[in-house]
Each structure stands twice: as C-alpha cells, then as structure tokens.
C-alpha cells in the first residue's frame, strides 16, 4: 500500500515539486513534508529496487526544494502556505480551510520533516542517487477514481493537470472543481511558472470555473465520469453538465446546447506564447444519463 501511494505521489507531483494543487488543505506545507517522509520510507522498505529508490529520492528532493523556494522564510522560518509568504494580508486567510492553524500545521510539517531526517541520506554511507520525476519527461498519468480522477501531462515545456469533478458535498468549493486545475510552463532558466492560478477556496454556493450552462437561470455545472489522455497529450474529460442538485441536464436542455465532452488541448511548441485552450465541443450529444462517450 505504501508503495502504491508513493508511486501515485511520484506521478502526480508537478516538475516544481508541487503536490497540493487541488482539494482540501491545498498547498499546505505538511503535504510536502509528509511526501518527503513517505518517499524515503518507501525507498527503505525491503524489496525497493534501484529504480524505485531513485524515483523516491527525486520526489523527496523536489518536495524539499519547493518547501525551500515557496514556504521558507519569515519570522518563524516557515509559512504554512505560499500565499502567506507572499504577504497578501487578511484576504489570504480566506483562502485557507477553517481548520488551518499556523501552530498546528507548522507542527505537522516540522514533525514529519523530523521523521524524514531519520531516513535521510546523511545517515547512509552512500547517498541515494536521485532519479527523475514522472513530470521530468514527456508523458501522462491518470490517477484516482470516480470524481476524484485526474490526469497529469508533461509535454515539452508544459505541465498540466485536469480533474473530473467535485465529489459529493464539494460543489461549493472550487478547489475540487472540474477541469484544468494546474498549468505550469518551464522558463528559459529552467524554473517553472504558473500559467494559471490555482483555484480558490469558496464555500458560499455551488460553483464552477465553468463552462456553466445557464440558459434559463437554472445553472448546470460541468462534470466528467472519466478523464483520458491520448498520445499527443490531449486530455478529454468525458461527461456533461448536471444541475446543482446533481441531476444530469435533461434532453430538452441538451438539445439546445448539446452538452458534451470538454477538451483541453495543449498546443505545445506550435503556440506562439504560453497558452492553453479550453474548447467545449458541442458536437457530441449526451447519451443515457449524460455521459456523452467519445472514443
């Protein structure tokens, strides 16, 4: 089980070490430090071969580098999230879960970091060689199940993640939203730039970054039953729209807008700039309970 979780972390990690780009406790420092601990514990498990050791060490080091570059500093040495380090003031607190506390969450981060020291290279006669992250080379991964399913893609200088849908009880929180959730591009100096901001924490009403159907004032939000990636790195989220109570949009509405799969295409090097496209396609009609399948 530990190895499966660690491998999933290796696949979902962005090339800049980001592992908290969607969901609850978004971007919390303890997510990185527990990743370091888990990766190094996995490498120490009996049966871990050289290849897995290298992957886990790459994951651990990249997470530590992100902790240093995006979280370290300030009066107490560590910010629990990057927004507080950037000094956005009281508004930044509204982007955090109510359960987030500087003392408790810093403590979680420090505790797991301390645990990971016991697994660190400094205690070994020969340091583990670091391999590569999944995101260091072109390719794609599809992770998770159900509405938490999401895809990560690295193609050329671009890396991005696309998620299926918010789970039950999460439709008010944009951090769990459908669609493109993170998109980063490598600068000429090798560092990574966020092309889009991460989605904000919201809690007031059912919401989505879209596309939203609102033909007569009754909003329908996008969702996908499945997320797939083709060989060219194009992610297709296969689904449709549903009302805020979770009912797929009826045929009458579907016939007006013909909701269908929503594609996200990364134009790659042909693009003149750091661009991405979201192309809601109206070419595929809904079938059954709203799962317009496109193969």
Partner 1 sequence: MSGRYQRVRFAPRATADVQGGYASASDGNLVRARLRWEPAPRARTMRVTFCGAE
Nearer to partner 1, 41 or 171 (CB): 171
Nearer to partner 1, 42 or 236 (CB): 236
**Sign of the CA dihedral with 249 first, then 225, 221, and 257 last:** negative
How far apart (Å, rounded) are the C-alpha atoms in residues 20 and 1?
20
- Beta-sheet strands, E only, within 78-156: 139-143, 150-155
Q: How far is the CB of 270 from partner 1 (least distance, A)?
A: 13
Closest listed residue to residue 284, CA positions, set 246, 257, 266: 257
Nearer to partner 1, 177 or 225 (CB): 177
Q: How far is the CB of 208 from partner 1 (least distance, A)?
A: 11
Closest listed residue to residue 147, CA positions, set 233, 227, 256: 227
Nearer to partner 1, 80 or 227 (CB): 80
Q: How far is the CB of 53 from partner 1 (least distance, A)?
A: 31
197 CB-near residues (< 8 Å, 6+ apart)? none
Interface residues toward partner 1, by CB under 8 A: 20, 26-28, 70, 81-84, 86, 88-89, 91-96, 175, 185, 187, 193-202, 210-211, 214-215, 256-258, 273-283
Nearer to partner 1, 43 or 253 (CB): 253
Nearer to partner 1, 42 or 112 (CB): 112
How far apart (Å, rounded) are the C-alpha atoms in residues 124 and 177?
43
Q: Are 93 and 102 in contact (CB under 8 A)?
A: no
Q: How far is the CB of 59 from partner 1 (least distance, A)?
A: 20
Q: How far is the CB of 26 from partner 1 (least distance, A)?
A: 4
Nearer to partner 1, 125 or 189 (CB): 189
Rg (C-alpha) for the chain, rounded Å, is: 20
Q: Is 250 helix (H, G, I), strand (E, B) or coil?
A: coil
Q: How far is the CB of 167 from partner 1 (least distance, A)?
A: 19
Question: What single DSSP character describes residue 171?
Answer: T
Buried b or exposed e, range 92-115, using 16+ CB within 10 angstroms? beebbeeebeeeebbebbeebbeb
Q: Are 21 and 4 in contact (CB under 8 A)?
A: no
């Amino acid at each position: 089980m530990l190895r499966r979780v660690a491998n999933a972390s290796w696949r979902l990690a962005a090339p800049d070490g980001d592992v908290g780009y969607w969901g609850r406790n978004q971007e919390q420092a303890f997510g990185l430090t527990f990743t370091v601990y888990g990766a190094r514990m996995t490498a120490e498990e009996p049966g871990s071969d050289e290849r897995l050791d290298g992957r886990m060490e790459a994951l651990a080091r990249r997470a530590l580098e992100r902790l240093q570059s995006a979280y370290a500093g300030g009066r107490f040495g560590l910010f629990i999230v990057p927004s507080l380090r950037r000094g956005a003031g009281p508004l930044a607190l509204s982007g955090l879960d109510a359960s987030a506390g500087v003392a408790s969450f810093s403590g979680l981060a420090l505790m797991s970091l301390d645990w990971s020291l016991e697994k660190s290279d400094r205690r070994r006669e020969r340091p583990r060689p670091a391999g590569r992250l999944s995101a260091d080379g072109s390719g794609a991964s599809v992770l998770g199940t159900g509405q938490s399913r999401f895809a990560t893609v690295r193609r050329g200088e671009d890396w991005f993640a696309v998620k299926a849908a918010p789970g039950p009880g999460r439709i008010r929180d944009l951090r769990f939203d459908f669609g493109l959730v993170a998109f980063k591009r490598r600068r000429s100096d090798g560092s990574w730039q966020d092309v889009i901001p991460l989605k904000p924490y919201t809690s007031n009403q059912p919401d989505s970054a879209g596309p939203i159907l609102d033909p007569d004032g009754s909003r329908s939000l996008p969702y996908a039953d499945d997320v797939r990636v083709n060989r060219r790195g194009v992610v297709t989220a296969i689904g449709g729209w549903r009302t805020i109570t979770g009912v797929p949009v009826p045929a009458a509405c579907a016939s007006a807008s013909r909701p269908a799969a929503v594609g996200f295409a990364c134009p790659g090097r042909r693009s003149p700039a750091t661009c991405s496209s979201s192309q809601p396609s109206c070419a595929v009609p809904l079938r059954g309970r709203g799962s317009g399948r496109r193969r």
